A and B are shown apart, each in its own frame.
Chain A
Amino acid sequence: MSNLINQFKFARNLLLKLQPVYIQPNRELRGKAPDVARTLKQRLEGTDMFDPSLHFKVNIGLPHLKTSKAEENGPRLKMQQSIKKSAEASSIEEISLKEIRKEWLKTAAPFQIKAIAEHYNIFKDLFGEAFFVPRIPISIGYQQTDGSTMPVYFGNQIKPYEAVLPPIVSYEADPSSLWTLVLTNPDGHLSEKDAEYVHWFIGNIPGNNIDKGDEVVSYLQPFPPRGTGSQRLVFVLYKQEKQIDFSSYQRTTPCLELTNRTFHMKRFYKEFQDYITPAGLSFFQSDWDISLTDFFHKTLNMKEPIYEFDFPEPYKKPPIWFPKKQPFNLYMDKHRDQKQISKELLLKRLKTVDPFKPKEPEYKYPNALPENNNLPSWLRVEIRKQRLKWGRYNDM
């Protein structure tokens, strides 16, 4: 069948060459022949459509231990009744935000933290198709030189110079239980795609005593390179079932060779998934500051990489030999190398600037100066633009 159609097409094309006839485009037989082309059903099977039996998220977190409704609502009802009986309603100043937050951490926080972590795409970048509800609230704070603390919440901005020293971490835990804390950066790997840098790794923490845990990888401050924007730094707290040997992840202190800090949270979790359960989550964002230049030069012993965002090129209509009704100078400039044009402008500017002479005063109304009427109009327009510093004359 398909051969027959192809032969027909070939013969028809030959005929058209001899005697050109206009054929309506919609009358043309489009696509492959019916017995070769796949049906819609076959096509849909091939695409990666959403399939609930395959594409579902797995909860890898701690289970939700629900208290009974009666147990929960009893004291709540009493509290509300006492408030309603009180003579005066409390004013806005009397209600403390700290106490609301304290209660929030016990009740609604885990679900809202999960929602914001999904908004920051943390589960997908760290665990792939898995997620967890952070049941254990962690409080993390960086001590500052002036005595204050910079807390880590769920996406707040912390500058690298504020996070030089390891933070103080606390959470509620049974002293006999064991925990693991990992700080990882999924955004900043310089030499590998889809990899992370581990900034801190402490295993086998008895209770909430971080100092008594094994320091597997020592702390390294965040170092988002210049021009890369904000990077996420994620603290994940795991609950351990038993003592675990992390010797394959052990690094010498201080670990300043960055390739040794390459880390994959998903692979790490897969390796120990029978003994660890993610319980707590907290993260912050960090972007470049001036203190990092010294950090790159002196601590990491490398030149500081500087990145620059280059926006996608705008669409240009392909040039033609004889453009009609186009301004010739602008049309020609559009298709020239932009770097060459900027270079010419810079050289032109440097000719007028002298470091040993005082700067010439700028006119308030530069276009009020007399014009040379003998020049062609296109050149006079360019001169006007140059005087007003429009377009490409912005830097002049």
Chain B
Amino acid sequence: MLEARIRNASLFSLIKRTYSSGNEALLEGPNNSFLPFIYNRNPRNLERLRIAPKPSGYVLDKKPVNYWHRLVIEQSNKHWNAYIEHFEGSRVVTASTKEWAIKQFLRSTSDSVAAAIVGKVLAQRCLEFGLLEVNSDYDLKQTSPKITLVLRNIEEGGIALKEPEQFLPHRHWSREAKEDPTKVYEETQSK
């Protein structure tokens, strides 16, 4: 068996490579020259697998910073603005009533209809951009009715307002073994 590595943008670690069962003659084809490791440069891959390092933040932080992607809703006197932020600082997805695409259908850009539309559009864009789970600090019991409307519309659009925890590998001294996310696959069958 060969030793192999997988290179990711944020983490470097060894991986082992094995072969699936199949005809032995297949090993002699032209496609069987491998590097002993594979490079996956996709920076979102480890976050999807939930093994990327996640910042834990500090106890005295005004807002907790323990997320990969976070939902922020801003309300001003005139407008609604909702966006998804990455912990490294970039604004990834935005939906705002200042955009002409949304504004053109609205009678008022600050009422409940505007709030609902901003939630719906943000959810649609998140789905298109491949972000299915975001962290949200909003407590549905304590937020105002309009912000609740934004949150509900985002959830109805198919976005989970909770991020999974970072997976830490099982060590023999930890009591329970969690399921390894790198070995979980959807049970979809082709044909």
Instruction: State which of B18, B100, B104 has its C-beta within 8 Å of the C-beta of A306.
Output: B18
Whether the Cβ atoms of A193 and B39 lie closer than 8 Å is yes
Instruction: State which of A116, A257, A290 has its C-beta within 8 Å of the C-beta of B92.
Output: A116
Q: Which of B70-119 contact A (CB under 8 A)?
A: 86, 90-94, 99-108, 111, 113, 116-117
Given A156-B128, A191-B34, A288-B185, verify A307-B100 contact (CB < 8 Å): no
Residue of A nearest to B175 (CB): A390
Whether the Cβ atoms of B105 and A89 lie closer than 8 Å is no
B90 contact set on A, CB distance < 8 A: 115, 118-119
A154 contact set on B, CB distance < 8 A: 128-130
Whether the Cβ atoms of B42 and A285 lie closer than 8 Å is yes
Binary flags per residue of A85-98, CB closer than 8 Å to B gives 1, else 0: 01001111001010
Q: Which of B36-66 contact A (CB under 8 A)?
A: 38-46, 48-49, 51
Give the docked Cα–Cα distance between A293 and B147 (Å): 47
Instruction: State which of B13, B40, B116, B174 has its C-beta within 8 Å of the C-beta of A92.
Output: B116
Whether the Cβ atoms of A305 and B17 lie closer than 8 Å is yes
Instruction: State which of A120, A289, A290, A391 has its C-beta within 8 Å of the C-beta of B43.
Output: A120
B-contacting 9-mer, from A271-279, A309-317, A347-355, A376-384: A309-317
Number of A-B residue pairs, CB cutoff 8 Å, is 242
Give the docked Cα–Cα distance between A227 and B38 (Å): 10
A194 contact set on B, CB distance < 8 A: 39
Q: How far is the CB of A354 from chain B (nearest CB, A)?
A: 25
Give the docked Cα–Cα distance between A302 and B34 (Å): 11
Given A116-B92, A120-B43, A230-B48, verify A306-B19 contact (CB < 8 Å): yes
Give the docked Cα–Cα distance between A64 and B53 (Å): 38
A59 contact set on B, CB distance < 8 A: none
B189 contact set on A, CB distance < 8 A: 290-291
Whether the Cβ atoms of A227 and B182 lie closer than 8 Å is yes
Whether the Cβ atoms of A289 and B190 lie closer than 8 Å is yes
Give the docked Cα–Cα distance between A333 and B171 (Å): 12
Q: Name which of A104, A161, A293 has the most chain B CB atoms within 10 A of its CB.
A: A104
Nearest 4 pairs of A and B residues by beta carbon: A155-B130, A161-B190, A291-B190, A153-B128
- B4 close to A (CB within 8 Å): yes
Give the docked Cα–Cα distance between A333 and B41 (Å): 37
Instruction: State which of B9, B19, B38, B106 has its C-beta within 8 Å of the C-beta of A121.
Output: B9
Binary flags per residue of B20-44, CB closer than 8 Å to A gives 1, else 0: 1011001101111111001111111
Q: Sample 12 A-B pairs with CB under 8 A, ordered by A number.
A: A100-B105, A107-B100, A153-B128, A161-B191, A190-B35, A304-B19, A306-B18, A307-B15, A308-B182, A309-B51, A311-B51, A391-B173
Q: How far is the CB of B122 from chain A (nearest CB, A)?
A: 11
- B144 close to A (CB within 8 Å): no
- B124 close to A (CB within 8 Å): yes
- A218 close to B (CB within 8 Å): no
- B183 close to A (CB within 8 Å): yes
Whether the Cβ atoms of B176 and A309 lie closer than 8 Å is no
Q: How far is the CB of B129 from chain A (nearest CB, A)?
A: 5
Whether the Cβ atoms of B18 and A186 lie closer than 8 Å is no
Given contacts A108-B99, A120-B42, 19 further A-B contacts (CB under 8 A): A89-B108, A104-B99, A159-B186, A187-B45, A229-B42, A259-B31, A284-B130, A285-B44, A289-B188, A291-B191, A297-B20, A297-B22, A300-B31, A302-B26, A304-B22, A306-B20, A307-B6, A308-B17, A310-B16
- B145 close to A (CB within 8 Å): no
B99 contact set on A, CB distance < 8 A: 104, 107-108
Given A100-B101, A187-B39, A307-B38, verify A84-B15 contact (CB < 8 Å): no
Q: Name which of A89, A192, A259, A288 has the most chain B CB atoms within 10 A of its CB.
A: A89
Given A116-B93, A119-B92, verify A392-B16 contact (CB < 8 Å): no
Q: How far is the CB of B34 from chain A (nearest CB, A)?
A: 5
- A83 close to B (CB within 8 Å): yes
Whether the Cβ atoms of A187 and B42 lie closer than 8 Å is yes
A392 contact set on B, CB distance < 8 A: 172
- B169 close to A (CB within 8 Å): yes
Give the docked Cα–Cα distance between A289 and B184 (Å): 11
A333 contact set on B, CB distance < 8 A: 172
Residue of A nearest to B35 (CB): A191
A302 contact set on B, CB distance < 8 A: 26-27, 29, 31-32
Instruction: State which of A92, A107, A225 has its C-beta within 8 Å of the C-beta of B101.
Output: A107
- A212 close to B (CB within 8 Å): no
Given A112-B93, A194-B39, verify A90-B107 contact (CB < 8 Å): yes
Q: Name which of A156, A232, A310, A390 has the most chain B CB atoms within 10 A of its CB.
A: A310
